[in-house]
Structure 1
Amino acid sequence: MQLTPGLHRVGSDIVAFHLIETPAGITMIDAGLPGHMPDLRAELGAMGRSISDIRGVVLTHGDSDHIGIAERLRSDHGIPVYVHSADAARARGEVTAHAPGGPKRLGAVLGFAAYALRKGGVKTKHLTAVVEMNDGETLALPGSPQIIGLPGHSPGSVAVFMPTVDTVFVGDALTTRNVLTGVTGLQPAPFTDDPAEALRSLDALSSIGAHRIVPGHGPAWSGSIVDAVQQIRTAAAQR
């Protein structure tokens, strides 16, 4: 689905990843679940593109619902996969996260579990090789992705600012749809390693000029990033 010229979404509000299209090729942000490969091919086909046009996959962090097809793209097609050095072991399956999920609503949990099962969530393959990146880097990929460290959800969580589409991709540093409660709107994400650190890290977004925030779960949000950060902190305080 095209969100705006040059920006395409694959997946749903439950789990999604994104394609940034430029004349030089495509940069992919996150990699969803293993069953998203047909969805990726379909979206690329609608764009008049193919997997060979993808120049790199940039992971916002190393959790299983963000790396689903990354290893397949890397091993079968030679596409490099970038992840923050502090999450490299997580993406390779050497470290397992056990963060508490927080409040739950049965319907939302069942919906998330059903979607993950349908999309092969239990079959996720960890990366066997990654390209490590760090806070402050601008990667030599289409759209010139800029990496902003947002530790908290995981040690190596990052935001990826893509100036070409006026968008910052935040992974699970925040969410606009809690997969465990179904509650929509700007809020902290569940399964966060260090919630206090995650909230502090959001300050790093305030200097970014983007007007669109795209999380890994939930719809895109448009407006002032400073206002967005304040809304998330208010939501956190009300929990």
Structure 2
Amino acid sequence: MRANGSSGDGIREVADGVMMITRAVTNSYVVATDEGLVLIDAGLPRSWSLLVEALAAVRGAPGDLVSVYLTHGHFDHVGTLERLQREHHVPVHVHAADRPLVRHPYRYDRESPRTAYALRHPGGLPSLARMTFAGALGVHGVDAEGSIVPGTPLLGGLVPIATPGHTYGHVAFHLPDRDVVFTGDALVTFDPYTGGSGPQIVARAATADSDAALAALAALTATAAATVLPGHGDAWVHGIRDAVGGALARGAH
């Protein structure tokens, strides 16, 4: 099984029955539950082969997915949805506030212009190039059900947590029985826009409201999860409190 990380593509098991898929510094997760196979976020279009591989590792296939749950609707988290819906009719769920973004994944608010930000932070250019090669410029939006309600459990015991800021409807997912929290882009351990590693919120070039994003970290701390599974970067195994502390110390950038 290939290793993943902020520097390489591949899959690996990061918790019991949880497969992490990494393509172009972007993560999604297959979760095996008693109620079926669930996908958290959908990566970039060219992560499809890794998705198939991750599903096979838990004795499944794309048609076996019972649901996709999105942390948010940005282009790099919805890239395989069109194919999953077209070929396998997999239902897709998101917070209602991000439903329009899933339809139009490039139309999102940000605090800084992307082009100017990239010029000021050239360390992010290699990651952005890899994302482009993985299909970042050719993502098709889809219709999703705006049915995720923070605090209302989902299949497999996943509990959505309101973490607005990166997008207005961003949610994280806590899986208490495995002591993990899927943070999406509310907290990452690698920022594609700067190339910086370590716990942090995502750069202003892709975040709607950095102050809100920092404030939302308190809700993640409340989970007390041992393992943090972010939308970008490696899994963090030192606990959510430690990760949030590092992100708060770093602040917005």
Q: Does 1:70 align with 2:86?
A: no
Aligned to 1:186: 199
Aligned to 1:60: 71
State the alpha-carbon separation in 2 of the partners of residues 217 and 138 from structure 1.
Answer: 24
Task: Tell me the amino acid that sits aligned with residue 159 of structure 2.
Answer: Q
State the alpha-carbon separation in 2 of the partners of residues 94 and 116 from structure 1.
Answer: 15
Q: Does 1:4 align with 2:15?
A: yes
Note if contact 2:98-2:168 (Cα within 8 Å) is conserved in structure 1.
yes
Q: Does 1:148 align with 2:164?
A: no
State the alpha-carbon separation in 2 of the partners of residues 28 and 4 from structure 1.
Answer: 14
Structure 1 residues 83, 29: closer, same or farther in 2, change over 3 A? same
Structure 1 residues 13, 93: closer, same or farther in 2, change over 3 A? closer
Aligned to 2:175: 162
Note if contact 2:73-2:102 (Cα within 8 Å) is conserved in structure 1.
yes
Task: Tell me the amino acid that sits aligned with residue 193 of structure 2.
Answer: L
1:197 alignment partner, SS class? helix
Note if contact 1:33-1:119 (Cα within 8 Å) is conserved in structure 2.
yes
State the alpha-carbon separation in 1 of the partners of residues 105 and 248 from structure 2.
Answer: 32
Structure 1 residues 177, 26: closer, same or farther in 2, change over 3 A? same
Report the Cα offset of residue 13 of structure 1.
6.7
Aligned to 2:217: 202
Aligned ranges for residues 66-145 of structure 1 at < 5 Å? Answer: 66-93=77-104, 96-99=107-110, 100=112, 101=114, 102=117, 104-109=120-125, 111-139=126-154, 141=155, 143-145=156-158
1:122 alignment partner, SS class? coil
Note if contact 1:19-1:27 (Cα within 8 Å) is conserved in structure 2.
yes
Report the Cα offset of residue 42 of structure 1.
1.9
Instruction: State the percentage of identical aligned residues.
Output: 34
Of 149-158 and 123-132, more deviation after overlay is shown by 123-132
Report the Cα offset of residue 105 of structure 1.
3.6
Alpha-carbon deviations, 1:38-62, whole Å to 9, x = none?
1111222233221122111000001
Residue 18 of structure 1, aligned match among 4, 29, 34: 29
Alpha-carbon deviations, 1:192-229, whole Å to 9, x = none?
10000111111111221311111110011122323322
State the alpha-carbon separation in 2 of the partners of residues 116 and 13 from structure 1.
Answer: 5
Runs of 4+ in 1 over 3 A off after TM superposition: 101-105
Please provide the CA RMSD for this pair.
2.0
Note if contact 1:202-1:229 (Cα within 8 Å) is conserved in structure 2.
yes
TM-score (norm 2): 0.86
Task: Tell me the amino acid that sits aligned with residue 77 of structure 1.
Answer: H
TM-score (norm 1): 0.90
Aligned to 2:190: 177
2:164 alignment partner, SS class? coil
Report the Cα offset of residue 107 of structure 1.
4.5
Structure 1 residues 152, 129: closer, same or farther in 2, change over 3 A? closer
State the alpha-carbon separation in 1 of the partners of residues 170 and 78 from structure 2.
Answer: 13
Question: What are structure 2's unaligned runs of at least 5 residues?
Answer: 1-11
Paired positions, count: 235
Alpha-carbon deviations, 1:131-160, whole Å to 9, x = none?
421211111x2x221000001011000111
State the alpha-carbon separation in 1 of the partners of residues 55 and 209 from structure 2.
Answer: 36
State the alpha-carbon separation in 1 of the partners of residues 234 and 177 from structure 2.
Answer: 20
Report the Cα offset of residue 118 of structure 1.
2.2
Q: Does 1:31 align with 2:46?
A: no
